Structure 1
Amino acid sequence: MPRLLVRDRLTWLTYAQIATWGYFLYGFSPVVPLLRDEQHTSRTVASLHGTAFAVGGVLSGLLLPPLARRFGRAALTWGGLVGVSAAAVGLLLSHPLAATLTWAVVGSISGGFVVNGVTAVLADHHRDGGAAAISEANAGAAGAGVIAPVVVGAAVGAGLGWRPGLAVTAGIIVLVAVAAVVFRIRVPAGAPAVSKTAGGRLPKPYWLAWVSLLATGSVEVCLNLWVADVLRTHARVSPAGATAAVSAMVVGLFVGRLAGSRLVLRLPSTAVLFAALALSGAGFTAFWFATVPWLALSGLVVVGLGNALHYPLGMALAVEHSAGQPDVAVARTSYAVGLSFGGAPFLLAVIADRVGPHLAFLLVPVFLAVSAAAVAGLRRRVGPPDGAFVVSAPAVSPPARS
């Protein structure tokens, strides 16, 4: 029987909250090659911005459980948005490598608070429809991400540099906060509960979902940070065009997450994730062999369609197999995301400095294979997830209405 997803004001607010992070993330990722040119560094040094995001992700995972217990999800989510806004403004005003790395860390920590807060709220609020809601929320983030590289690329093409396009993030966050006040939408505090049967420990199936997130996160961050470089060097795309062309992949993310939210209401999440991994592999093959812009961009759209469901389904599977501990589960996934952001692009950059970015990109199908192996192990599991969505504490309150 298909599961239902009923969207209310709280749902739409959380979608908007995560979309602002999507704008910042997808706006910043394609400017790393431009930063390399501006700061006169190697690809390896420029990839430290990915490492900075990784450090922020790990710190976010460490800080989130105690801060969520102390202040609740609502304060943590809004505080994260304030931090993302500060990072956007900080990058507007900063030029040295140390400063841009610092603001990348701040943005990553803050974005982790937003993503984890929104994911936990949607999982609790929609229960059986949680996977679909998480997919739609990430579709909204991808939708904002479609716009961000275009805006940043247009600013570069106009001679303004990339910073004004990214600084728009702060204005978007202000608008989201104003809308929450005007429509009187309250994000539930939602202090995390620990399953009495689990004792705070996460079961083995959770860690298979965690490994899948680590691998697919590596795929996405490598593509986000370095696909513009490959477009410039292998497909003969201009710097401004390559920056804006990242939107081709994000268009696929947006469409894929919208379509995927319907699929996961009808099909097992593991089956849909397998199909998504295969689609990513097919799109990457077309992109990697392309020597002309139109074929490379077409491949990126297909890659985006597949990548669309890697993160939301990985998160949903992690929550489902967390023994009734959604907040602990999403906090631990920050480590996977952090490690992928730090390790994968740095490894790719080191290889790229020796053999070029095109050959180095063959790491991507390796990561896809690792994710598929983890999902296969999870799929062999028989029966319902351990304590799926067993959350003590009161049910999430509906949003206040005007």
Structure 2
Amino acid sequence: MTTITPVRLTRDRATWLIYLQLGTFATYLYGLSAALPMLRIDQGVSQGVAGLHGTSMAVGGILTGLALPWLTRRIGRRAVTWLGLAGMNVGVLLVMTGTTLPVTLAGYGIASGMASITLYAGMAALNDHHGPAGAAAISEANAVGVTVGIAAPFVVSFAAQTALGWRAALLMTPVLTALLALTMGRIWIPERENAAAVAGPESGARFGWRFYVAGTVLLCCVALEFCFNLWAAKLFADQTGLSAAVAATGLTAFTAGLAAGRFTGARLALRVRPAPLLVGALALTAAGWTLFWLSRTPVLSYVGLALSGLGVSLHFPLALSRVLDASGGRADQATAAASIFAGLAVGMGPLLLGALADGFGTQRAFVMVPVLIGLAVGGILVSSR
């Protein structure tokens, strides 16, 4: 792999606040992902209809992505991140207390949309604040987030097997948000720190073709990650005979791989150029997917999901970093556009996979994953020439 001159990542209090905000975000993301198979059973709907929850998440992310530049200019990144966390908890509580499909769809959409503005405002702040080490900071932030979120599928699975039920497990997100606000609520998150970033939103300049190719690569990466998040537990249950509640722990193996990979990736990102590193991560995901897809035993399925998570761990941080690099210093505009690409991915990927699963079975539908990997690698090669 092509190396670069190593740079140093300095973590101050603002950096740690963003890291922990992302950890709270992760409990929502992996908690609702692990809950979806059980929510589908409670509501008695098909896999395709259950996939509409992913579509709702996408719509929420796209709408808030369109509003993010305006919100950031009006109230600043600090207020945006806390506003997003507050709205995210409203959505989680709707899912927790709602039983009908319209209510849970609204809950997934509100939680996703509001969580997205916290995520992308935080990523823009890290990128500007850490300069050349921005990609490493983004990767490490996602590592911290996944490390916190890794417990969510286990907590949901455990609660589902008790008298409390799986819905009680969703309380972990508002509880952690309240604790974070009480302990670190006064820390200031860095605003835009360079002239290009400040001027960018008002300049009206268009992005070049490399930016949109980078956005398409991000779309593919997010789509395949959400295919794992929302449907891996179902395939795990189908192929091993485990119950939906027990199979939800398969996401713990996936998120364990995510956590390990993102901490390692933060160090690699300080030394290896993003393009070859991202291609290597996609290849590792393909290897893990192959093992998981072919496995009929729980142990091998866990290993395949862990390897897949290890590869996926670098997809979002590196793909987002490439979008930011192609933006010409307009971090807030770029992250807003990135949230729209990601929203489209969340909407199309799981919904299409769910529809294919209804028609051809979950295993055949999961062939979407290597297709998305191939498209992402092609986009990287084209834009890196």
* TM more than 0.5: yes
| TM-aligned CA deviation for residue 65 of structure 1 | 1.1
Q: Distance in 1 between matches of 2:263 and 2:203?
A: 34
Alignment of 1:193-342 (within 5 A): 193-195=198-200, 199-342=204-347
- Aligned position for 1:25: 29
| TM-aligned CA deviation for residue 190 of structure 1 | 3.8
The aligned length equals 378
Any idea what SS the aligned residue of 1:194 has? helix
The match for 2:68 among 64, 69, 72 is 64
| TM-aligned CA deviation for residue 334 of structure 1 | 1.1
**RMSD across aligned positions (CA):** 1.4
In structure 2, the gaps of 5 or more residues are: none
For residues 22-73 of structure 1, what are the alpha-carbon distances to aligned partners after superposition, in whole Å with 9 as ceiling and x for unaligned? 1100111122111111001011110000000010111011111111111111
Question: Is the contact between residue 92 and residue 108 of structure 2 (CA under 8 Å) also seen in structure 1?
Answer: no
Q: Distance in 2 between matches of 1:88 and 1:238?
A: 24
Question: Is the contact between residue 74 and residue 190 of structure 1 (CA under 8 Å) also seen in structure 2?
Answer: no
TM-score (normalised: structure 1): 0.92
The match for 2:189 among 172, 176, 187 is 187
Any idea what SS the aligned residue of 1:234 has? helix
Question: Is the contact between residue 351 and residue 357 of structure 1 (CA under 8 Å) also seen in structure 2?
Answer: yes
Question: Is the contact between residue 198 and residue 323 of structure 1 (CA under 8 Å) also seen in structure 2?
Answer: no
Q: Distance in 1 between matches of 2:78 and 2:374?
A: 37
| TM-aligned CA deviation for residue 189 of structure 1 | 4.3
Any idea what SS the aligned residue of 2:139 has? helix
Q: Distance in 1 between matches of 2:203 and 2:282?
A: 31
Q: Distance in 2 between matches of 1:172 and 1:361?
A: 34
- The answer on 1:369 being equivalent to 2:371 is no
| TM-aligned CA deviation for residue 11 of structure 1 | 0.6
Higher helix share: 2
Question: Is the contact between residue 215 and residue 368 of structure 1 (CA under 8 Å) also seen in structure 2?
Answer: yes
For residues 232-281 of structure 1, what are the alpha-carbon distances to aligned partners after superposition, in whole Å with 9 as ceiling and x for unaligned? 11122222211122110000000000000000100101111010000000
| TM-aligned CA deviation for residue 107 of structure 1 | 0.4
TM-score (normalised: structure 2): 0.95
| TM-aligned CA deviation for residue 198 of structure 1 | 6.8
State the AA in 2 paired with 1:324.
Answer: G
For residues 3-38 of structure 1, what are the alpha-carbon distances to aligned partners after superposition, in whole Å with 9 as ceiling and x for unaligned? 110111111110001111111001111221111110
Any idea what SS the aligned residue of 1:202 has? coil
Q: Distance in 2 between matches of 1:190 and 1:83?
A: 24
Question: Is the contact between residue 71 and residue 189 of structure 1 (CA under 8 Å) also seen in structure 2?
Answer: no
Question: Is the contact between residue 75 and residue 189 of structure 1 (CA under 8 Å) also seen in structure 2?
Answer: no
| TM-aligned CA deviation for residue 145 of structure 1 | 2.0
For residues 45-103 of structure 1, what are the alpha-carbon distances to aligned partners after superposition, in whole Å with 9 as ceiling and x for unaligned? 10000000010111011111111111111111110011112122222211111000001
Question: Is the contact between residue 30 and residue 226 of structure 1 (CA under 8 Å) also seen in structure 2?
Answer: no
Any idea what SS the aligned residue of 2:150 has? helix
The match for 2:161 among 157, 160, 170 is 157
Question: Is the contact between residue 194 and residue 200 of structure 1 (CA under 8 Å) also seen in structure 2?
Answer: no
- Aligned position for 1:148: 152
- Aligned position for 1:92: 96
Any idea what SS the aligned residue of 1:95 has? coil
State the AA in 1 paired with 2:246.
Answer: G
Question: Is the contact between residue 123 and residue 130 of structure 1 (CA under 8 Å) also seen in structure 2?
Answer: yes
Q: Distance in 2 between matches of 1:56 and 1:108?
A: 6
The match for 1:9 among 6, 13, 16 is 13
